[in-house]
Every structure is written in structure tokens, then in C-alpha cells.
């Protein structure tokens, strides 16, 4: 078993001064913590893997392809591989668990 605490992951991510911290990598998936502060721009480009986002905290909008929706704590979003997507209009610091399948390369 592997177990993680979000507060410890957030501290590690912040200490490494990056927006993304991959903390689990297995044969068929990887998981990370993604952070964007209020007003920040999301620099993402389409990925080669399917993704699931689980919003841990914060408020923003996300556009996936041509669809846009508001997200907040508890939101779950699926993004198919190769589809353009970005968080925007981030009004509260955003913390998101990201699950990639297959693992992010």
C-alpha cells in the first residue's frame, strides 16, 4: 500500500517551486498534484494520455475542447488524450489531483 497526505504533498510541491508534483507512478497510471494560484495562467498543452482531474480546493473555469464549465472543490473532470484544455478565471487558489492513464511520460 502507498498512502499520501495532501498537506504533505502540497508542502513538497511548494518546496520544489513547481506547479505540478507527480507523487505516484505505476505501470498503468500516474498521479500528481497540480496547483494554480488565483489569477494565474494555465500553461498546459494537450497530453498524450487520458486524464481525470479531481478538484481538491479552489474555484475556476475549465475549457476542454469547445466546452467550458465552472469547477470547485469536489468537481471531477475527464479530459481525453490529445484534447486541448485549460483552467482559467481562477478566482481561488486551485489544487487539483491529476490522474494520467497510461502514466505521464
Domains of the chain (ranges; CATH) run 6-101 (2.60.120.10)
| pLDDT average, residue stretch 68-95 | 98
| pLDDT average, residue stretch 56-69 | 98
| pLDDT average, residue stretch 10-32 | 95
Parallel/antiparallel/unpaired status of strands 76-79 and 50-64: antiparallel
| Closest C-alpha to 51, from 38, 59, 40, 62 | 62
Is pLDDT of 103 > 90?
yes
Is pLDDT of 68 > 80?
yes
Model confidence at 104, pLDDT cuts 50, 70, 90, reads confident
* pLDDT at residue number 76: 98
Q: Could you tell me the pTM of the whole model?
A: 0.94
Cell numbers found for residue 5: 497526505
Amino acid at each position: 500500500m502507498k498512502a499520501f497526505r495532501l498537506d504533505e504533498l502540497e508542502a513538497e510541491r511548494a518546496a520544489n517551486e513547481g506547479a505540478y508534483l507527480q507523487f505516484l507512478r505505476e505501470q498503468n497510471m500516474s498521479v500528481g498534484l497540480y496547483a494554480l494560484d488565483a489569477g494565474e495562467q494555465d500553461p498546459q498543452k494537450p497530453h498524450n494520455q487520458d486524464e481525470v482531474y479531481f478538484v481538491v480546493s479552489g474555484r475556476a473555469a475549465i475549457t476542454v475542447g469547445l466546452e467550458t464549465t465552472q469547477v470547485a472543490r469536489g468537481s471531477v473532470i475527464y479530459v481525453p488524450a490529445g484534447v486541448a484544455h485549460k483552467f482559467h478565471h481562477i478566482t481561488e487558489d486551485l489544487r487539483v489531483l491529476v490522474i494520467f492513464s497510461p502514466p505521464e511520460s
